[in-house]
């Protein structure tokens, strides 16, 4: 961050009222607990809390300037904080983005940003694209669900799409490290809440849309509208290139809506980028990628048809960023395993394949089970699926997930998965309705560690055990707090006991 005057920090911000005074600005924050001397504090109303409640604390910590989206607060500020310049804005989050861009030196103008949205596949697609870009020597910033990357440095990811201030700080660090590319997951929440305001997207990707987050969006149309904002430009120009999955019904609609961008489509059997002669086995997927510039053999260490989609999306985006088809194929082959995405747990000599995956919607669960069924069939094995449903989230998907698990599995183990403020057994009962409709045998075990042990010990040689829902997560979120929990570690412990 650079030191500047408050009028420079506020450049481009549409303020309804402007405070008097000239002060030095050294940073920007939206969390009053992180404010230091010389910072601009942006107080904005949010879904869970109102930052305007914490202005006094921010000023006590040294805030040099306060931006508020509350006229009541602004009126009172002249009496309560006479020495601090206050600015009144209509949109707090937009102001946060604009001030942050000024303070961090507009790194978004240096980086070519590729952004991916959709219900499933965002994380894997973003990892694949980053891998392809890095394979040709491009330094990247990655912002996503599992972790953040700034060049070779890896940082913890508290949010899939953080607030604009934090994104721009990552971007600024990336520019200092020599980055010219950024790859970013954009969630529907972030798009609707304008956490990505003013960030120009060069290549936008759409993976698919299935039921999720209706506790927040209310309807599928509202959910789709939030995703579609990426292709409209959130406070900036529309993306130069729109990469869209036309095997998805919402993707087909989006093609017509993205007419001001160069549209590149993909799908298994149709689209500008498509797949032929798909062959799969555990730890490897091969297919012939057909493109407008020719066809090449694609090989990836990722497994499954869903990853064929992810590979096609990343390939189309990489091509839009200037990579040749040969470079794309080489980058895909070198791609590393994405944590918690069809992650195979070492099983020693047990003969059982245990897979940990993030699938937490009925569509993702159905795709995961279909892949496991295809792989298990080679050895005449069964598919055992363990899953749970998150608390304080869309309740309507719980029986749908139960049906998806029951329809494709030989045995279902139903357990707890981040129940949050809800009673775990109440959530389980709602999912159990869907499983019972299929007639598949189901074992209920509220304790997730105990459930993992039950699922693995029920398996025999050739069977595949799917542990779905948490993937890369390392905690279980309960009513009384958050406790450490790692599906991979628990499963590995059980497998070690079995073979010892």
Q: Is 421 annotated as a binding residue?
A: no
CB of 130 within 8 A of CB of 140? Answer: yes
Q: Is 420 annotated as a binding residue?
A: yes
Q: Is 321 annotated as a binding residue?
A: no
Residues of 404-434 as b/e, b for ≥16 C-beta within 10 angstroms? bbbbbbbbbbbbbbbbeebebeebbebbbeb
Q: Is 68 annotated as a binding residue?
A: no
Token pair listed for 186: 């954009």
Token pair listed for 475: 């905690």
Q: Is 193 annotated as a binding residue?
A: yes
E strands, 220-302, are 241-245, 262-267, 273-281, 284-291, 294-300
Q: Is 139 annotated as a binding residue?
A: no
Q: Is 135 annotated as a binding residue?
A: no
Say which residue the tokens 């879904």 belong to: 47
DSSP state of 84: S
Q: Is 124 annotated as a binding residue?
A: yes
Say which residue the tokens 């019904």 belong to: 249
Q: Is 117 annotated as a binding residue?
A: no
Counting Cα atoms < 13 Å in the Cβ hemisphere of 151 gives 9
Q: Is 440 annotated as a binding residue?
A: no
Q: Is 283 annotated as a binding residue?
A: no
Report the C-alpha gap between 52 and 41 in whole angstroms.
10
Nearest C-alpha neighbor of 307 from the set 500, 493, 124 = 124
Q: Are strands 181-185 and 112-117 parallel, antiparallel or unpaired?
A: parallel
Report the C-alpha gap between 288 and 135 in whole angstroms.
21
Nearest C-alpha neighbor of 114 from the set 86, 133, 88, 90 = 133
Q: Is 120 annotated as a binding residue?
A: yes
Report the C-alpha gap between 27 and 39 in whole angstroms.
4
Say which residue the tokens 């290549």 belong to: 203
Helix (H, G, I), strand (E, B) or coil at 329: helix
Q: Is 123 annotated as a binding residue?
A: yes
Helix (H, G, I), strand (E, B) or coil at 337: coil
Report the C-alpha gap between 254 and 449 in whole angstroms.
42
Q: Is 195 annotated as a binding residue?
A: yes
State the binding site for meso-2,6-diaminopimelate.
393, 417-420, 469, 473
The binding site comprises: 32, 118-124, 160-161, 187, 193, 195, 393, 417-420, 469, 473
Binding-site residues from annotation for ATP: 118-124
């Amino acid at each position: 961050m650079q030191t500047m005057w408050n009028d420079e920090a506020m450049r481009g911000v549409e303020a309804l009222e402007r405070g008097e005074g000239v002060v030095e600005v050294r940073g920007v924050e939206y969390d009053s607990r992180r404010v230091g001397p010389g910072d601009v504090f942006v107080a904005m109303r949010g879904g869970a809390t109102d930052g305007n409640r914490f202005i006094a604390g921010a000023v006590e910590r040294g805030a040099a300037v306060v931006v508020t989206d509350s006229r009541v607060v602004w009126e009172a500020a002249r009496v309560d904080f006479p020495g601090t310049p206050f600015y009144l804005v209509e949109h707090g989050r937009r102001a946060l983005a604009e001030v942050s861009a000024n303070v961090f030196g507009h790194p978004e103008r240096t980086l070519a940003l590729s952004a991916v949205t959709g219900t499933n596949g965002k994380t894997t697609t973003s990892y694949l694209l980053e891998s392809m870009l890095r394979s040709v020597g491009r330094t990247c910033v990655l912002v996503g669900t599992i972790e953040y990357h700034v060049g070779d440095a890896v940082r913890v990811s508290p949010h899939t799409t953080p607030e604009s201030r934090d994104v721009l700080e990552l971007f600024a660090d990336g520019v200092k490290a020599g980055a010219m590319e950024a790859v970013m997951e954009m969630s529907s929440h972030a798009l609707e809440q304008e956490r990505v305001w003013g960030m120009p997207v060069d290549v936008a990707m759409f993976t698919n849309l299935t039921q999720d987050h209706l506790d927040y969006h209310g309807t599928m149309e509202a959910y789709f509208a939030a995703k579609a904002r990426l292709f409209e430009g959130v406070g900036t120009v529309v993306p130069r290139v729109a990469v869209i999955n036309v095997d998805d019904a919402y993707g087909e609609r989006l093609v017509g809506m993205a007419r001001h961008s160069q549209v590149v489509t993909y799908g298994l059997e149709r689209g500008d980028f498509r797949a032929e002669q798909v062959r799969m086995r555990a730890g490897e997927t091969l297919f012939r990628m057909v493109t407008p510039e020719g066809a090449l053999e694609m090989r990836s260490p990722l497994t499954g048809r869903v990853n064929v989609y992810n590979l096609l999306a990343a390939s189309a985006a990489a091509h839009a960023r200037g990579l040749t088809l040969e470079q794309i194929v080489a980058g895909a082959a070198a791609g590393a395993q994405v944590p918690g995405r069809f992650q195979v747990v070492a099983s020693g000599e047990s003969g059982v394949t245990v897979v940990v995956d993030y699938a937490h919607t009925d569509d993702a669960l159905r795709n995961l089970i279909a892949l496991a069924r295809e792989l298990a069939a080679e050895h005449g094995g069964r598919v055992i699926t363990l899953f749970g449903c998150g608390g304080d989230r869309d309740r309507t998907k719980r029986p749908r997930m139960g049906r998806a698990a029951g329809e494709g599995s030989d045995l279902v183990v139903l357990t707890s998965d981040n129940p949050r403020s809800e009673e775990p057994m109440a959530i389980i009962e709602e999912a159990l309705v869907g499983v019972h409709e299929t007639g598949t045998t189901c074992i209920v075990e509220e304790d997730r560690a105990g459930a993992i042990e039950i699922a693995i010990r029920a398996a025999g040689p050739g069977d595949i055990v799917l542990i779905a829902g948490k993937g890369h997560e390392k905690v279980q979120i309960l009513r009384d707090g958050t406790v450490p929990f790692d599906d991979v570690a628990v499963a590995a412990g059980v497998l070690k006991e079995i073979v010892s």
